[in-house]
Chains A and B, each alone.
Chain A
Amino acid sequence: MALPRVGLGRGPGAPAEAAPTTATANPVLGGMPASAGGITGAHALRRMARAITSNRKATAGAILLLIFIVIALIPGLIAHDNPNTIYATKLGPSGQHLLGTTALGQDMFAQVIYGTRPVLEIAFGVGLGATIIAMLIGVAAAYLGGAWDSVLNLITDVLLVIPLFPLLIVLARYLNGAGTLVMIVVITATGWSYTARQLRSQALSLRNRDFLEAARVRGERPLYIIVVEIIPTMTSLLIASFLTNALYAVLFSSGLQFIGLGNPSVWSWGTMLYWAENNEAFQTGQTLWIIVPGLCIVALGAAFALLNYAFDEIGNPALRPIRSMRRSRVKPAQ
């Protein structure tokens, strides 16, 4: 829960300076900024597909994520029980109930399976929402410059240093618990600042490139230049932003649900943990009730983190593992 956003192979999220590894790295998936204009979304997607298959961490992350997406799309085909049906309480794992039943008599496997969709909804909702806000604000700040930049940058910085999780707790309490939609809105509204800062520094580095000058001379409007000329060159940063925000959405929302600030009647892994904790699952020997939903959170989080880490490695070759050196024990870099 509530991790420093500085992990995942990026540099420290210091406000005073751009993250050294990512912000300054060339956007791999978007290609060279200088040749922008020729870069299309489809092209970037093809490069992304190649990146996923060529990097082991990325492959593992992508497969994990795909499994969860399939589960979220067709939970009814995977679990034959309804998560709300009441059976005998505290049954052990069996062919009938793969993970047994809870202290309230519901099938645990069905809860885990049906609980996948709300988690993914929050992850994708926040990932997209926060990336879009960050993109608009970060790029607008960098491109418009002057007073606009100062104001937008100040807002970003202020939001960046206010501790998010306590703020989320207070917000969720005032809203009387947060369902899926409220959760998405609240986490998006408070969480976009880190990405906005990264995107701004990337956009700043593009500001005086010739292709933008050309667009300006052509007399294009700022909005057109931002959307059509600048944003496509930042595809890789946008993907990284999506993955980071999705990851934190999973962790934040599970934490909020665990302390009872979610909607306790919507099945989700965090809610399961809330009920497990409230029914003293450990003390009564219902270990799986706590272990399984937690492992699901870790697996989904790992999927996002592995993809993100792999893209970082692809973008910054210096971070790639060195295999040939392992055996020969050669001193690094002459």
Chain B
Amino acid sequence: MRFILRRVGFFLLTLWVALTLNFLLPRMMPGNPAQAMIANHKGVVSPTALKALEAQFGLNTHQSLIGQYFRYLGDVATGKFGVSLTTQPGNSVGRIVLDAIPWTLGLVGVATVLAFILGTGIGILAAWRRGGRLDSVMPPVFVIMTVVPYFWLGLVLILVFGVKLHWFPYFFTYDFTMTPGFSATFIANVLHHAILPAFTLLITTIGTWILTMRNTMITTLAEDYIRMARAKGLPGRRIMLDYAARNAILPNLTGFAMSLGFVVGGAILIEYVFNYQGVGYLLLNAVNNDDYPLMQALFMLITVAVLVAILLSDIATAVLDPRTREAK
């Protein structure tokens, strides 16, 4: 219980740091980025929108920095993120973001879960058959796989399976000609569009799971209780899964949440490459169009999502692993 309370406290602290960064960055950076952005939009947006924008970024106001800060925190708490400037002019940022979330959640979620299951499984086998073919080939291959930039792999897959072979579509989340709805053909179309980006994410992240699982598993296999299990004559499969893998998987589970921040970073680029209309695509769109309100809201959303995932995994680890609970 104390462990969980500490993790919740840490979560709140990190959340506060991220929110404060989000508030301070546009105000503190050299060259006054908010001013420049507003100058770009003068005449394009309505005077009332301009006023709201100035208030949001602390320009031309008599409010002190502290006053602005509390106003900002209040806005965040009540979900007021302002209005999009250029991406979808006039639409509320909250609405735009909500529309994009399911796409990213589906893409990143499925790819990550698959990568975790497959990668952990392969890692277990590689460590179990130490010195076998899998074990000698996999590590070097995946050391190299982990350094392939997500976006570049996406581009190469587009070239091979999209441009050359025409097997998979590589633009947008579904065909423009279709009307979204819960029909079988539409869902099939969505899945068809998701295959390439999901596959890109899967093969760039799976190497990490394989390597970490293999390495923890090797350490676990040297434990005395494994030798004991062998001495008792237990079947190999049982030792591998119930004795070794079960204990080795916990650190990997924590790694699962920790790496989510990086997976999300990669997903941003993959969505960009595939014009996949999720959160990351939206973020880069906002970045390229000087849409700071949208950019701020998205940065915050991504950060909060990652922090929540880490908190959940901490709690899960505490429930599953008594060692974590006892560590002060």
Contact = CB atoms under 8 A, between A and B. Distances in A.
Q: Do A and B bind each other?
A: yes
Interface of A: 1-17, 20-21, 57, 154, 157-158, 160-167, 169-171, 173-176, 247, 251, 254-255, 258-261, 273, 277, 282-283, 287, 290-291, 294, 297-298, 301-302, 304-306, 309, 318-319, 321-326, 329-334
Contacts of A15: 258
Interface in B257-289: 258-266, 268-269, 272-273, 283-284, 287-288
B31 interface: yes
Contact of B10 (A3, A157, A247, A282): A157
Interface string B10-39: 100110011001100110011101001000
B185 interface: no
Given A7-B207, A175-B31, A298 B255 contact: no
A5 B259 contact: yes
A290 B159 contact: yes
Interface stretch (B41-49, B91-99, B190-198, B217-225): B217-225
A166 B149 CA distance: 16
Given A158-B13, A175-B31, A301-B147, A8 B211 contact: yes
Given A171-B25, A297-B149, A321 B262 contact: no
A287 B221 CA distance: 47
Interface stretch (B61-69, B77-85, B138-146, B173-181): B138-146
Given A158-B14, A161-B310, A259-B269, A4 B151 contact: no
B208 interface: yes
Interface residues of B, number: 89
A321 B212 contact: no
Contacts of A14: 251, 254-255, 258
Question: Which of A57, A165, A331 has the largest count of B CB atoms less than 10 A from its CB?
Answer: A165
Given A1-B149, A169-B268, A259-B272, A6 B258 contact: yes
A259 B284 contact: yes
A298 B148 contact: yes
Contacts of B133: 326
B45 to A, nearest CB: 19
A287 B156 CA distance: 9
Contacts of A302: 143-144, 147
Contact of B149 (A294, A306, A321, A332): A294
A82 B150 CA distance: 30
Given A20-B251, A319-B215, A3 B261 contact: no
